Copies of this chain bind each other. A is one copy, B any other.
């Protein structure tokens, strides 16, 4: 049934065991369709690697006026500010946003993806810390990822994580310390944030220093994170500095350091990551790498609208980072 020629809609219909009309309705999100029919047709599209043409894709265009945003939780300042800017940008272009906080419920991502497949939203912007989901193989869908590697067909918007890692590590080395520990998420998560670790380890080695990366899952509760960071202090009693992969965790570490009588910056240097507007105002003393959250949101929206229109996009958009000089990164 699978020919060497470019597959046609009738091939999809035949493989799915439905009429061509039904297959067309699935493709164009028209009329009522059962979950089962949707799945059969999408499975057949996947098996045959069927790519609808631009005209067919145009039919997706602004059907619902809704865009789904799937991020771990808006209660984290980085995602809160990102979602705030995404909502603002999309509203300017007559889209409303549906949000799904996926931190407490990893199935939610599949659920929203099915919504997209069923034509209940026009596009998705995703940035979760969940593991890869098989359905993202439908590469023709209007999806944009922020700070997350999906597959080669889904464009990623990210800040320059490698350069951020370089800025943070060099800041600490230039302050004269040698025993620098880095915290980052488990490497099983496919996120460009791991380039921060690669940069840290490379710069440390280039300076004849031994890298020490402490792995911690972003999803842990505050109480669990505190317990893990107490272990970090126990594991590295001689540590002189920390490059922490996000500012909220950097604050938790600063509170633990205080409890343990480690003075910052006298006895311990800290550089964080993210540099949200909130954290720069609430903890201006924290030296941190600033991600351009507003620009990341603008570009993600631009690219998503291009995808919805069926236009070509790049596969990766990397935006520059800067260093916020507080008082915790040097003496």
- Interface residue ranges, A against B (CB under 8 Å): 66, 73-77, 80-81, 83-84, 87-88, 91, 96-101, 104-105, 108, 115, 222, 226, 248, 251-252, 255, 276-279, 281-285
Contacts and interface: CB of A to CB of B under 8 A. Distances in A.
Given A80-B80, A81-B75, A283-B251, A96 B96 contact: no
A282 B97 contact: no
Contacts of A251: 281-283
A252 B282 contact: yes
B222 A281 contact: yes
Contacts of A282: 248, 251-252, 279, 282-283
Nearest to A65: B120
Contact of A104 (B88, B100, B284): B88
Contacts of A100: 87, 91, 96
Nearest to A276: B75
A99 B101 contact: no
Given A74-B84, A282-B283, 18 more contacts: A74-B83, A75-B77, A75-B84, A75-B276, A76-B80, A77-B278, A84-B101, A88-B101, A88-B104, A88-B105, A97-B99, A222-B277, A226-B281, A251-B283, A255-B281, A255-B284, A255-B285, A282-B282
A101 B88 CA distance: 7
Main secondary structure of the interface of A (DSSP, over half): helix
Contacts of A88: 101, 104-105
Nearest to A248: B282
A88 B74 CA distance: 11
Contacts of A81: 75
A6 B84 CA distance: 45
A319 B277 CA distance: 31
5 contacts: A73-B84, A251-B282, A251-B283, A252-B281, A279-B282
Nearest to A286: B282
Contacts of A83: 74-75, 99
B80 A74 contact: yes
User: Chain B CB within 10 Å — which of A91, A101, A104 has the most?
Assistant: A101
A155 to B, nearest CB: 24
A89 to B, nearest CB: 11
Contact of A248 (B73, B91, B255, B278): B278
A66 B120 CA distance: 11
Contacts of A279: 282
Contacts of A115: 96
